[in-house]
Each structure stands twice: as C-alpha cells, then as structure tokens.
Chain A
C-alpha cells in the first residue's frame, strides 16, 4: 500500500490584489450605509413630495405610508446589516492571510539563511580537510581523523538534502509512504542503538519492553526517531538522559522521546512544527539546523494516519514529543500485543529483534 501524503501548502498567499479587495469592501460598506439611511427616510421624502404636489394625504393614507416605509427600511436594514457583517468577516480573513503571509515570508528568509549556513559550513570544512591532506599538512592519526570528520560532514549534507527534498515532496503531495505492519519497539531499539553510536556524548535510555505492532512506513518511522533524538541531543543533550519509549495504546502504539531540556518555554506546538520555524535573528544561531525537522516529523506522522504531540515533560523541566501510530490491520484495538498475535511475532521479536513482522497480520 503506497498512499501519498496530502499536500502541505507552503506557498505564500496571493498578495497583489488584496488592497483592491480591501477598497471594494470599504465601498460596499459605504454604499450599504447610504442605502440604510435612504430607506429609513423614505417615508419623510414621500410625504414632502405629496405636500409639494399640493395634495394633503388623510390620516389613514399617512399611517399606511409610514407603516410600509417602516417595513421596507426594517427589511433593508436587516439585509444591509447582514451583508455588512459578512464583509467585515471577509475583511478579517484577508487581514489574517496578510499576517500569515508576512510571518511565512520571514520564516522563509530565515530558512534560506539557515540553509546557506548549513550547506556552506560542512562544505567549507570538507574542502579544508581535503586541501590539508592534498598539501601533505596532515599525516598518520591526524589524516585519519580528518577523513573521518569529512565523512561526517558529508553525512550531514546528505541529511540536509534529504530533509529539503522530503519537504518539497510533501509540499507537492508526491511523498509516498509504504504502509505495512511493523513492530515499533523493534525499530525504536534498532534506531536508538545506531543513534547512541552517533551521539556518544548523549545518554540514551531506551524502554521498549514489549512489541508494539502498528501500521506504518519503516523508513518514515526511522526518520521520525532520527529527527526527534537529534533534536533532543541538540537542545538538551547536556541536560540529562534522553528517554526513548514505546508503549502500546488502545489505538495502536505511542513512541515518545523525552528530554530534560528547557521544554516548550511557552512556544505553541503548532508554531514549532511549522515549516522553516527558527529563532528571531537569522544571524544569531541558537541551535544548528534549518527549521524543517519537526515539520517533517509532523508531516510524516500524519501521512501514516498518526498524530504528533509536543508537551512539557511531566514532573520537571523537559520536553516530551510523542508520535501515536494506528494499530496494525486486523487486530482488535484493545488487545494486548502478545494475546493478539498467537503466531508469536512477540517471541520472534524477543529472539531476533531485526526480523520483519509476519504477513499474517496484513
């Protein structure tokens, strides 16, 4: 099964004709006001005309005339008011889209600046490592270290390129996810072991006690975990252990990465997971990265039918990022994993963590 992720709109809202729209709205508002005033005075106008024509209307005619104009004006005032409210509401929408437009433009400018830095810095060090080697300025252990570091810089560039390409694919609605039944616990243990090697300075506590079968895309889950753990190392690597846990839930399973860093600090999860979200000053680098990590995590999670939550860690400073993914097909939602799988995928997992899940579950 290869569904395509719903396109994510990253375009800037159309801005050009907005001022024309605003002007038209104002004209309409003025016209309606005039219209309301005109009809509410219609009775007086007709009476004045009758007087000028020299015929004085009797009391009954006068009363009927006033009642009729009162009814009209009530009708027009009601309709005019309704129209006015509609116009005000649409003006509000227009203003909101302008504000979003400005915010997105700022984020995109900061993004370009961040990508420039994230591309050029590893390129610069790779070039200097190679120059040093070619010019014979590094030998033996130093040369080995230079090669190893240059290789890490190449990996960093590859990850950045993949992140940007994924964002583009998500924006165009052409990013495919290949859903199958996978054991979230097994993927988490495997990826966490690799990440622990990659970030030797950080302490990773992994808790995946039992298998947790979900319907998901293995590669997408790996990227989600990779991004979340890298984020945690980046923002909270020095602050204490980073906990990676997988817990089966009634709806499927929940993968959480919990750090002891500063937490949300009042930021809205919606903003943190928006594309290109970064700090205010493009030149002051609070943290490395280009502001696509959590956006990619959210988009990939949603493309698999799951949902992402960001909350302050319960019981102290820190951030919990939780990804909930739906049950593997054909399983009762509330059954414990081992009960639902008599074919013993749980045992398989225990014996050989890298085994793929059985087809019987599909």
Chain B
C-alpha cells in the first residue's frame, strides 16, 4: 500500500529519525509526534492510515492514547513499538485494541514487514468482500464493514478483529478455514502468541451470533483443524 500516511509517536529523537527515514524509503509518508496527548489530537484530526505508538511517552502514555481512540470508536490500526516487552504488556496492549506489538529493540526488516501486513489487512478490510458486507445468520444481521451485529432489535458492536474473522469464514462458506490461516489473515505476521487466541475470539463471536453458543448452528469447530461457517 504505497503512499499510505503513517504517524510515528516516539519521544526518542534518534529512534524517531531512523524509523521515519526507513518507512519513508518504503514510499509511505511519516508524521512524527513526540508527545502522547498531542498525538491523540493529531490522530483525531489527521486520520492517518496507521499509528506506530510508543508506550512510555510524555504527556499521555501510549496505552491511554489507544484506549481513548477505541472508546470513541476510532479504528485506526495501531502498532505498539515499545520497550515494555513483557507478555503482560503485550496482552494489555492487544486487549486495548492494538493491532500488533513490537518490543524494542527490533529488526528493521521485521518492522517493515509488520507495517506492510497491517496496511494490507486494512486494505483488505476496505475492499468489498466476495461474500458481501452483510452476513445473515438466521435472524442475526452482521454488518462486517460497519463492525456491528443486529439481533432482536438490539445493535451490538464487533471489534475489527472479530469482523475480520467472520469475513474470513464467510468468504468460504461450508469450507474449513484453519486457525493458522485465520491468524495469518487477521493478525498477519506472527503477532499473536498462540493459535488458541483464535478459539477465544470464536467463543465471543458465538455468543454474539448463535442462538445457543453451546450448540453452535453457524460457526462449527472442525476438531484438530479449524472452523467452518454454514449460513
């Protein structure tokens, strides 16, 4: 996705210099901000295609920036790029709605691959699906592009990841889609710790779309392999 507009939120001048130089070499334009609170305002007003977000920042920390954006419904892809690399920090960042998490110090090639993977996913999300943008499962109407579920007169929200998983399954109805394939298409480069994570997302999706989550009628588990959607 050439020409994408990226925002790099990093207060370390040297790191900001070398990262932005390299991302620009890939054909992306990069806006560098060194303060969390300023970044939040700029993301709201400038709507970049991707935010590379440090966690330990002046003004406001990166976790709060991400949380604030997600709470107001802003779904800009966020790649955390931080010195806080423990498993708890990674899980926290992803739970808050981060799309990927890259602990410092990292490899230049890896950074570029991950940015490319996130941009590809958001591009995939933006293009019309073969299965259409709306999925009907009984009396449940899923708006994949709008990330919402209408059920019994109520509108429930889908996270972008949940919407992508449903899209993955809906594009090949009746076929088995493996967990590895879901991880590859939804998370891209090996961002997530385990394949079990997909199972957790499926559990939540079943609660949203199945009449009875314990006896699934639409999203079936194929033992030892993956999942199958039968609309």
Contacts and interface: CB of A to CB of B under 8 A. Distances in A.
A153 B13 CA distance: 11
Contacts of B11: 285
A124 B106 contact: yes
Interface string B1-43: 0000000000110110111011001000000000010000000
Contacts of A138: 21
A138 B24 CA distance: 12
B15 A146 contact: no
A117 B108 contact: no
B18 A283 contact: no
A142 B24 CA distance: 14
Given A137-B22, A283-B62, A285-B11, A128 B56 contact: no
Interface string A119-136: 111111111110110010
B101 interface: no
Contacts of B52: none
A128 B58 contact: no
Q: Is the interface of A mostly helix, strand, loop or mixed?
A: helix
B105 A124 contact: yes
A284 B14 contact: no
A128 B108 contact: yes
Contact of B83 (A117, A142, A286, A287): A117
Nearest to B14: A125
Interface in B70-99: 83-85
A120 B64 CA distance: 21
A135 B108 contact: yes
A125 B12 contact: yes
B56 A152 contact: no
Contacts of A149: 14, 17-18
Nearest to B61: A283
Contacts of B64: 283
Contacts of A121: 12, 15, 83, 104
Contacts of A132: 18, 21-22, 108
A116 B18 CA distance: 20
A123 B14 contact: no
Contacts of A281: 61
A338 interface: no
Nearest to B12: A121
B22 A284 contact: no
A113 interface: yes
A126 B83 CA distance: 14
A124 B104 contact: yes
B55 interface: yes
A285 B83 contact: no
A284 B61 contact: yes
B144 to A, nearest CB: 34
Contacts of B216: none
Task: Identify which of B14, B61, B103, B106 gathers the most chain A CB atoms within 10 Å of its CB.
Answer: B14
A12 B103 CA distance: 31
A119 B111 CA distance: 19
A125 B106 CA distance: 9
B52 to A, nearest CB: 12
B103 to A, nearest CB: 8
Contacts of B84: 113, 116-117, 283
B5 to A, nearest CB: 21
Contacts of B61: 281, 283-284
Nearest to A282: B56
Contacts of B15: 121, 124-125, 128
Nearest to A123: B105
B25 A137 contact: yes
A117 to B, nearest CB: 4
B105 A116 contact: no
Nearest to A119: B83
B89 to A, nearest CB: 10
Contacts of A286: 58
Given A124-B106, A283-B56, 14 more contacts: A120-B103, A122-B12, A124-B15, A125-B12, A126-B105, A127-B108, A128-B18, A128-B19, A128-B108, A152-B14, A282-B56, A284-B36, A284-B57, A284-B60
8 contacts: A119-B83, A125-B14, A129-B14, A132-B21, A146-B18, A152-B14, A283-B64, A284-B58
